[in-house]
């Protein structure tokens, strides 16, 4: 990482909503001008629909099920604060909209709001000013007209499912907010009962939620719990979401996937819709790599997330943790590119996923309206009267371990102990709303601690702690926020806790401007730096902050409050949604979507192959004909690869070369038996021509000699570079130096990935600024390595040499996966715009060796320019990797196996009939492949 600290709001995001909309409009106009297709729709994929559905009169009579009590949910696993929903509630008559069926006038579906993710849904709906909105989510448990019971999804008929979609099409949210209009479309996802609850109550709440909040499953679950037991349900639910999205997708849609319930969806959706523009927003914290790596399915989860074009988090620190995890756990490489700001990314086989952050706010206008509801003021006055003459400290949290209620109570006890003058003068009103699952152990601990504090510091006329374990009504909640003299919100770990922002807005309307004590472990803490930030584990620190807040002067309160209020009302949920849209739109014009290399079809290649008179094949080796492995010496060619090369070289019309970075010995050892195969070693430093035909005397072909292109070059620089490399090797555990005849390479694949990459960049900077401009060399950053080689030696020069010597070739296939292979692709860019023919001047690799040798070392008239027989449609430069990989190639395949499969198809062999074998070491153990 370039930095371990960034401001919570990036420069350029703390602007008005009108400015963001103007930027968005300008970006859309630019895309349209450049021919980028836009549909005007945003697909928001959430775990739940923000609607509870009750089926009053099913078309059949299925058995009624009691509403799930979630017996397997760990006691300390509540829902995500920003996007998960509490248990569904049977709709009250005055809240619900009852929709008649199409067949008769009998009411069938009753819809009512689902509470629990107001900030996210408010932000989504606000985009209706700009886009057509589609919210895709699980229906939730289908409630029946029988109280406290539900219907299994499998029992809901197709007729009733269609009726629900019709009902959702006319549904209007109950609150008459100006941003709630009819442009929002609700798309239900139907899940089998076992899959739905195995997904949410199982894997999400028993495994992912604890992990993301720095708890491991063994800390929160029973002794029989397994971190992997519900993964199949999680994967099945994610697949159902991906398939539902694919059904309604139209080109030009923007797709936002929300939160940790759906982390596999981006990759699954990418497989279904390769060109989709996908964003993933994670509302929870993201843990450090040392915590995340404990997850058994860590790679599947990370790969699922990296299917997106953009992964976005609440804070920079969360995004840094994610980037570090991808590098450390999966071995992927991080990248960075400069736009308006430095954008970090993760490179997976050429597909770069951008990693950014953008905080969620609250709907400030709605909260401000709610604080002025008629029912708020009477309750506010009642609280003032009840606690007259006393300072009020307010706390409102879900009852779970992560919210830090026990630690807060102990800190309040320490306040009364260390500052006894507050005894009888201050009360703590602590509201603990029930979590998704009951937590009797924690509830008992809280009750015992409250009783202890009240017994120790209370009296007949004074009770220091007032604990209410209940869900507050909206009027009561805003009255409590408005009347408080100090707000204390100190979770042990949290994402975007909206209560603190609602507190600031309520205090503005009441005129008190009371201070706020916040945990530094909240995602919002950097956002609200003018609050009193504390470590919730340090009870003395929290008690001291409470004391400072209660004694704070009016001027200091006002100054802090004004700054907090400006932040809360500027970066709202509406601004968040617009900034997300801007980020994802920017991806459409970037590397990820601007140019997608098409997949080369076998039929297209075969047709050109059959028509050609002379064919030229140029293959890289590692990552092209064989997968890259952790131990480079074990990258041996498979039976399929050897068969394909054998059949190609047997055809007299074909000329086949391996153009590799490997040394001569390796290529001879594994491919030397193929006499008709030409080989170039060390990135073009050496070449051995294929043996063609027999000798005049013995009737057998004579083995070609290796030609060294560096013999006439100044190679004294190798010692200077070696000295630099030795310096970094001493300081980078696990790194080593590889010295070849034409180049020198520093490898750090076995080093700590982040430290190795940092040292590589430092070494690269040193070589480029202090040595490269003095010597005829170039510095190349490869896959976990840094290579220095002569400028005159590269794969492109070898390709030019081969093509110059074979100008009659009218079919050229060139495949590679690495940055060094781009030199080959660049050399094969032979045609000017709209040109149908090309010529080639004698390349340096011809004049440097052949010209000099043929004339005994003396000069010779210049060699002629040759006309090439190949046409533009006969050149197939093919990159191995993702379609969005940055490359000069015109085509792509995804894996080395596909390269080999295409070659076998050209020689009329079905790859399925060829025996394959895993890569094995000498002991017969299968080697793990890498993804670079």
Give the count of beta carbons closer than 10 Å to the beta carbon of residue 206: 25
pLDDT tens track for 262-312: 999 999 999 999 889 999 999 999 999 999 999 999 999 999 999 999 999
Nearest-Å Rg of the Cα atoms of the chain is 33
Q: Are 824 and 778 part of one and the same domain? A: no
393 contacts 517 by C-beta, under 8 angstroms:
no
The phi-psi region of residue 511 (left if phi > 0; otherwise alpha if psi is between -120 and 50; otherwise beta) is left
Confidence grade of residue 82 (pLDDT, cut at 50, 70, 90): very low
Q: Calculate the alpha carbon distances from 415 to 337, 514, 575 in Å.
A: 49, 18, 39
Q: Are residues 345 and 447 in the same domain?
A: no
Rounded mean pLDDT, 583-594: 68
* Average pLDDT score over the chain: 83
pLDDT of residue 590: 55
- Residues 246, 138, single domain; the answer is yes
Query: 780-828 pLDDT, tens per residue?
Result: 888 788 999 888 788 998 999 999 999 999 999 999 998 889 999 999 9
- DSSP letters of 746-789? EE-TTS-HHHHHHHHHHHHHHHHHHTTTTTTEEEEE-SSEEEEE
For residue 45, is pLDDT > 90? yes
Distance CA 416, CA 229 (A): 46
- Residue 335: per-residue pLDDT: 83
Residues 383 and 445 in one domain: yes
pLDDT confidence band for 129 (50 / 70 / 90): confident
Q: How many H helices and E strands in the chain?
A: 30, 35
pLDDT tens figures, 703-723: 678 888 877 777 889 999 999
Residue 837: pLDDT above 60? yes
Rounded to the nearest angstrom, the gap between the alpha carbon of residue 578 and the centroid of all alpha carbons in its chain is 19
CATH number at residue 159: 3.40.50.2000
Greater model confidence, 495 or 649: 649
What is the structure's pLDDT at 75?
Answer: 35
> Does 270 map to a domain?
yes
The more confidently predicted of residues 4 and 183 is 183
Residue 349 pLDDT exceeds 90: no
pTM of the model: 0.78
Q: Which domain holds residue 288?
A: 17-52+109-357
pLDDT reported for residue 217: 61
Q: Which of 465, 80, 102, 444 is nearest to 260 (CA)?
A: 80
User: Between the CA of residue 862 and those of 339, 356, 673, 851, 855, what are the distances in Å?
Assistant: 46, 55, 37, 9, 12
Virtual torsion, Cα 565, 567, 569, 574, nearest 10 deg: -160
Among 15-24, 28-37, 545-554, the range scoring the smallest mean pLDDT is: 15-24
- Angle between helix 573-588 and 17-33 (nearest 10): 20
pLDDT band at 14 (very low <50, low <70, confident <90, very high): low
pLDDT on residue 182:
52
The pLDDT of residue 233 is above 90: yes
Does residue 577 belong to any structural domain of this protein? no
Q: Which two tokens stand for residue 358?
A: 């953008």
3-state secondary structure 358-375: CCCCCCHHHHHHHHCCCC
Give the domain-ending residue among 790, 812, 834. 790
Q: Residue 655: pLDDT above 90? A: yes
Mean pLDDT of 541-562: 95
pLDDT band at 155 (very low <50, low <70, confident <90, very high): confident
Beta-strand relationship, 149-151 and 142-144: antiparallel
Co-location of 416 and 509 in the same domain? yes
Q: Kindly state whether residue 411 falls inside one of the protein's structural domains.
A: yes
Q: What is the structure's pLDDT at 106?
A: 61
Q: Which of 306, 335, 357 is at the close of a domain? A: 357
Q: Are residues 431 and 510 in the same domain?
A: yes
Spatial CB neighbours of 476, under 8 Å, sequence gap ≥ 6? 379
d(CA 620, CA 574): 50
Q: Are residues 728 and 615 in the same domain?
A: no
Residue range 486-541, pLDDT digits in tens:
999 999 988 878 899 999 999 998 888 999 999 999 888 878 889 999 999 999 99
- From 749, 773, 790, give the residue that closes a domain: 790
Q: Are residues 684 and 751 in the same domain?
A: no
Question: Are 389 and 521 found together in one domain?
Answer: yes
Q: Is the same domain home to 203 and 120?
A: yes
Any domain includes 505: yes
Residue bearing tokens 């993964």: 231
Q: Work out how many domains the chain is built from and give that number.
A: 4
Query: What integer is the mean pLDDT of 869-897?
Result: 90
d(CA 207, CA 261): 11
Compute how many other C-beta atoms are within 10 angstroms of the C-beta atom of residue 489. Answer: 25
Q: What is the pLDDT of residues 396-451, one digit of tens each?
A: 998 888 899 999 999 999 999 999 999 999 999 999 987 755 578 888 999 999 99
Question: Same domain, yes or no, for 437 and 536?
Answer: yes
Q: Which residues are catalytic?
A: 620
Residue 194 located in a structural domain: yes
- Whether residue 798 lies inside any domain: the answer is yes
In a domain, 828, yes or no: yes
Shared domain check, 479 and 379: yes
Q: Which residues lie below 8 Å from residue 260, measured CB to CB, with a gap of 6+?
A: 80, 204, 208, 209, 212, 282, 283, 284
Residue 562's pLDDT is 93
Q: CA distances (Å), 309 to each of 245, 319, 342, 356, 932, in order?
A: 16, 14, 16, 11, 19
Mean pLDDT in residue range 168-174: 79
Q: Indicate whether 925 belongs to any domain.
A: no
- Counting beta carbons within 10 angstroms of the beta carbon of residue 473, is it exposed (0 to 12), middle (13 to 18) or buried (19 or more)? exposed
């Amino acid at each position: 990482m370039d930095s371990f600290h960034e401001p919570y709001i990036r420069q350029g995001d703390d602007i008005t909503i009108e400015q963001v909309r103007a930027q968005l409009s300008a970006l859309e106009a630019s895309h349209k001008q450049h021919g980028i297709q836009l549909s005007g729709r945003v697909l928001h994929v959430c775990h739940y629909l923000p609607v509870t559905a009750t089926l009053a009169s099913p078309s059949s009579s299925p058995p009624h099920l009691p509403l799930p009590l979630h017996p397997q949910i760990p006691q300390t696993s509540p829902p995500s604060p920003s996007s998960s929903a509490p248990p569904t509630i049977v709709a009250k008559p005055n809240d619900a909209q009852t929709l008649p069926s199409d067949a008769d006038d009998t009411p069938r579906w009753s819809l009512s709001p689902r509470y629990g993710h107001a900030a996210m849904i408010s932000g989504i709906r606000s985009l209706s000013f700009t886009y057509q909105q589609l919210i895709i989510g699980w229906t939730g448990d289908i409630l029946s007209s029988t109280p406290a019971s539900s219907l299994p999804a499998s029992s809901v008929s197709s007729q009733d499912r269609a009726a629900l979609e019709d009902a959702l099409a006319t549904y209007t949210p109950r609150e008459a907010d100006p941003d709630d209009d009819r442009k929002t479309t609700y798309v239900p996802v139907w899940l089998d009962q076992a899959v739905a609850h195995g997904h949410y109550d199982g894997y999400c709440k028993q495994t992912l939620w604890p992990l993301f909040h720095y708890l491991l499953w063994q800390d929160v679950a029973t002794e029989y719990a397994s971190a992997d037991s519900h993964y199949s349900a999680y994967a099945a639910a994610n697949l159902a979401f991906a398939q539902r999205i694919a059904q309604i997708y139209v080109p030009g849609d923007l797709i936002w996937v929300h939160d940790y319930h759906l982390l596999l969806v981006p990759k699954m959706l990418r497989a279904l819709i390769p060109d989709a523009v996908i964003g993933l927003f994670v509302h929870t914290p993201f843990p450090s790599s040392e915590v995340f790596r404990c997850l058994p399915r860590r790679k599947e989860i990370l790969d699922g997330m990296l299917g997106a074009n953009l992964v976005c988090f609440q804070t920079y620190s969360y995004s840094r943790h994610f980037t570090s995890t991808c590098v450390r756990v999966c071995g992927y490489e991080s990248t960075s590119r400069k736009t308006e700001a430095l954008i970090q990314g993760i490179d997976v086989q050429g597909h770069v996923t951008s990693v950014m952050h953008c905080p969620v706010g609250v709907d400030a206008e709605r909260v401000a309206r709610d604080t002025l509801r008629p029912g708020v003021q009477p309750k506010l006055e009642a609280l003032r009267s009840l606690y007259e003459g006393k300072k009020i400290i307010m706390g409102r949290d879900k009852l779970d371990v992560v919210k830090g209620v026990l630690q807060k109570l102990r800190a309040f006890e320490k306040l009364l102990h260390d500052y006894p003058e507050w005894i009888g003068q201050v009360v703590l009103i602590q509201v603990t709303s029930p979590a998704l699952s009951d937590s009797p152990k924690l509830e008992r601990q809280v009750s015992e601690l409250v009783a202890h504090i009240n017994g120790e510091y209370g009296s007949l006329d004074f009770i220091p702690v007032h604990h209410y374990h209940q869900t507050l009504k909206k009027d009561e909640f805003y009255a409590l926020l408005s009347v408080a003299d100090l707000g204390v919100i100190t979770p042990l770990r949290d994402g975007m806790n909206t209560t603190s922002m609602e507190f600031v807005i309520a205090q503005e309307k009441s005129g008190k401007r009371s201070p706020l004590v916040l945990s530094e472990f909240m995602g919002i803490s950097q956002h609200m730096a003018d609050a009193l930030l504390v470590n919730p584990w340090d009870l003395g620190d929290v008690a001291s902050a409470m004391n400072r807040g209660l004694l704070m002067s009016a001027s200091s309160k006002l100054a802090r409050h004004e700054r907090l209020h400006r932040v809360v009302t500027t970066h709202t949920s509406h601004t968040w949604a617009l900034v997300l849209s801007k980020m994802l739109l920017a991806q459409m014009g970037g590397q990820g979507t601007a140019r997608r290399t098409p997949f080369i079809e076998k039929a297209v290649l075969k047709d050109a192959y059959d028509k050609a008179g002379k064919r030229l094949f140029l293959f890289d080796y590692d990552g092209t004909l064989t997968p890259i492995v952790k131990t480079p010496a074990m990258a041996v060619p498979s039976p399929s690869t050897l068969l394909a090369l054998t059949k190609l070289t047997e055809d007299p019309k074909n000329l086949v070369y391996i153009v590799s970075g490997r040394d001569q010995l390796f290529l001879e050892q594994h491919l030397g038996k193929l006499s008709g195969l030409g080989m170039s070693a060390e990135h073009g430093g050496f070449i051995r021509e294929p043996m063609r035909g027999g000798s005049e005397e013995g009737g057998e072909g004579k083995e070609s000699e290796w030609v060294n292109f560096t013999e006439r070059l100044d190679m004294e620089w190798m010692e200077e570079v070696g000295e630099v490399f030795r310096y970094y090797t001493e300081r980078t555990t696990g790194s080593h130096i590889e010295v070849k005849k034409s180049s020198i390479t520093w490898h750090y694949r076995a080093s700590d990935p982040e430290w190795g990459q940092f040292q590589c960049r430092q070494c690269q900077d040193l070589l480029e600024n202090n040595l490269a401009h003095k010597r005829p060399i170039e510095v190349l950053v490869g896959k976990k390595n840094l290579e220095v080689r002569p400028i005159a030696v590269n794969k492109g020069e070898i390709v030019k040499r081969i093509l110059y010597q074979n100008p009659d070739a009218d079919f050229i296939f060139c495949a590679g996966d690495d940055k060094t292979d781009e030199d080959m692709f660049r050399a094969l860019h032979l045609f000017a715009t709209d040109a149908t023919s090309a010529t080639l001047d004698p390349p340096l690799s011809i004049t440097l060796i052949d010209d000099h040798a043929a004339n005994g070392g003396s000069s010779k008239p210049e060699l002629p320019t040759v006309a090439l027989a190949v046409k533009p449609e006969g050149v197939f430069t093919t990159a191995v990797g993702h379609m969005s990989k940055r490359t000069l190639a015109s085509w792509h395949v995804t894996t080395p196996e596909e390269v080999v499969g295409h070659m076998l198809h050209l020689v009329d062999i079905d790859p399925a009939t060829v025996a394959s074998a895993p890569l094995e070491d000498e002991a017969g153990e299968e080697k793990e492949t890498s993804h670079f």
